[in-house]
Amino acid sequence: MHSDTAAVRQGEELNVANLSAWIGAPVAVEQFPGGHSNLTYLIRTTDGEYVLRRAPLGPIAPKAHDMAREFRVLSAVHPHFPEAPKVFRLCEDPQVTGSTFFLMERRRGHILRDSIPVELPDTPAEISALFVDSLARLHSVPLTGDVAAIGRPEGFVERQVRGWADRWRRAQTEELPLMEDVVAWLENHLPRGGRATIVHNDYKLDNVMLAPGRVAAVLDWEMATIGDPLADLGLTLAYWCWVNRPDVRTAGIPALTLEPGWFSRTGLLEHYERITGYDVGKIGYFEVLGVFKLAVIVQQIYLRYHRGQTADKRFQDFGNRANALVLLAAELAQRHA
C-alpha cells in the first residue's frame, strides 16, 4: 500500500520538542495531506503510531473545530460503534502545539476520492452498501449513558439552521442575497417530529476508511450530535453523484460515485430505508439543508485562504465553489417548496 502521509506542509509544523516532552518520548511527525479542515498528523514514537488531530491555523468560527468535544464524542461512541477510532489523550494546553489537540489510534485502509485502488477488491455496488450499512449501524446505537450526553434532540433542526446561518454570515467575503433566501426557506419549512439518533453530521465517502469487505473507520467526528438521522442522509446526498449536473462537479463535489456500479441517489435512499425501516419521505428538506451546510463549510475554508491563514492553493477557488452550492440549494428549495 502506498504511503498516505507526507512531509508537514510549510506553516503547519508542530513544535516537536514540546510534543515529545508532553508524550514523554521522542516523536517523528508526518502529515495526512487530505482533508480541508482540521489538521491531522501521524505521530511515531518508540511505543507505536498515533494520529494527532488539531484545529486549523488562525481565527476560527465560534464552536467550530472543537477538538476537546470531538475527543469526548469519540470516547462515548467508540464502545458502541467500533468504526469510531479509539482515543487516548487530550491536551488543552496551547503551549504544547498552539492549539487543543488529541491523540487517537491509527487505522489503516483506503480513503476514496478519485478512484478505487487495485488493493481494494470490492465493487462499487459493494462499497456503496458498506457505506450505507455503516451509517445505519451508527443510527441504531442506543441513546444511553455518555452517548445521550453528546447532544439534545429537542430543537435539533432549528439549531442547525440558526447555527449554520450564523457561520455563513461570519464567513462571507461578498454579499450573496440568494443565501438569505435559502435560510428563510429552511426556517419557514422546519419539519416536525422525526426520530432521534446519533448524527455524525459530515458522513461522506472520504470520511470513511475502507478495507476489503468492511468499513475500517469513520473519521471526522467534531460535529457529531443527537438529532434527526435524515440530517446525515441529506448531507450524504449533497456529496453523492449528481447525474447531468456539471455545475455541481465544478462546485467541488467528487465525481467518483457517478461511475458505473455505484448506487444512484435513489438507490442509496432505498437501501437505507430497507435496512433501517426509517421513513425517508421528508428527505427533500434535509437535502436542501445538506447542500446549504456544504456551502457554508466550503466558504469557511475559503475565508481562511482569503485572510492568508493558509497558503494551501487547493482552496483558492473555494469562493466560487461556495457560490455554486448556494445556487444549487436555492434550486432544490424551489423544487421542494
Mean pLDDT of 103-116: 93
Q: Is the dihedral of CA 35, 91, 105, 63 positive or negative?
A: negative
The yes or no reply on domain 110-336 and CATH 3.10.580.10 is no
Q: Grid coordinates in use for 39? A: 489538521
How would residue 116 be classed by pLDDT, with cut points 50, 70 and 90?
Answer: very high
- Counting every residue, how long is the chain? 337
Q: Give residue limits of the domains in the chain.
A: 16-105, 110-336
Of 5, 7, 19, nearest to 54 by C-alpha is 19
Biggest CA-to-CA distance, the chain: 59
User: Per mean pLDDT, which range of 148-157, 205-214, 314-323 is the poorest?
Assistant: 314-323
pLDDT confidence of residue 2:
47
Going by pLDDT thresholds of 50, 70 and 90, the confidence category of residue 1 is very low
What is the pTM (predicted TM-score) of this model? 0.90
On the question of pLDDT at 242 being above 80, the answer is: no
User: Smallest Cα–Cα separation from 210: which of 93, 280, 115?
Assistant: 115
Please check the confidence at residue 94 and state whether its pLDDT lies above 80: yes
Q: What is the mean pLDDT of residues 31-41?
A: 81
Displacement of CA 126 from its chain's centroid (Å): 22
Which residues sit opposite 28 in a β-bridge? Answer: 44
Q: 48: Cβ–Cβ under 8 A, 6 or more apart, which residues?
A: none
What distance in Å separates the CA atoms of residue 140 and residue 142, rounded to the nearest whole number? 6
The pLDDT confidence band at residue 58, using thresholds 50, 70 and 90, is low
Would you say 113 and 255 are in contact if contact means Cβ atoms under 8 Å apart? no
- 336 — pLDDT class (breaks 50, 70, 90): confident
Residues 143-188 have pLDDT tens digits of 999 999 999 999 999 999 999 999 999 999 888 899 999 999 999 9
Retrieve residue 16's grid coordinates: 516537536
- Cα–chain center distance at 104: 17
The residue ranking higher by pLDDT, 3 or 94, is: 94
First-last CA distance in the chain: 48
Decide which of 1 and 294 is more confident. Answer: 294
The per-residue pLDDT for 63 is 57
What is the second-level CATH architecture of the domain 16-105? 2-Layer Sandwich (3.30)
pLDDT confidence of 319, banded at 50, 70, 90?
Answer: confident
Cβ distance 136 to 121 under 8 Å? Answer: no
Of the pLDDT bands very low, low, confident and very high (cuts 50, 70, 90), residue 113 is confident
